[in-house]
């Protein structure tokens, strides 16, 4: 299963958005999985809106790896609560299975901002 991380960050004082991804830069003729093809479509939309896209960035890769590590019992899985593991699952597009959390419990859905 291919997992691709895209990180969108608001710049201070409304100066735009940064886009980082762990996906490689697009190459013409290179075969793509369905997830990679959809990623390239999304990133093409970002570029069409004048947003600079940074490909292959370490921070995007690390964010995805951290989410996976929160679920893995031999990494951080036993060190965090069921709610934290379920939040990681939700971020990875999986269903919450250990707690009462549902997609509507996401801080993005409830209007909370950090």
Q: So what's the pLDDT on residue 26?
A: 83
> Helix %, strand %, coil % for the chain, to 5?
45, 10, 45
Q: Could you tell me the mean pLDDT of each successive run of 10 residues in the chain, 114 residues long?
A: 80 84 85 89 89 79 84 92 89 80 51 48
pLDDT of residue 92: 78
Q: Please tell me the distance from the alpha carbon of residue 18 to that of residue 83, in angstroms, as a whole number.
A: 29
**pLDDT for residue 102:** 59
- Distance (Å, rounded) from C-alpha 9 to C-alpha 16? 9
């Amino acid at each position: 299963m291919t997992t691709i991380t895209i990180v969108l960050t608001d710049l201070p004082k409304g100066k735009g958005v940064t886009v980082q991804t762990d996906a490689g830069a697009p190459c013409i003729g290179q075969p793509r999985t369905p997830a990679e093809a959809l990623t390239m479509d999304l990133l093409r939309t970002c570029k069409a809106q004048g947003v600079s896209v940074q490909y292959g960035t370490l921070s995007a890769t690390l964010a995805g790896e951290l989410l996976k590590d929160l679920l893995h019992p031999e990494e951080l899985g036993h060190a965090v609560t069921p709610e934290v593991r379920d939040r990681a699952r939700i971020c990875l597009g999986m269903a919450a299975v250990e707690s009462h959390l549902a997609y509507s419990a996401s801080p993005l859905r409830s209007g909370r901002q950090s």
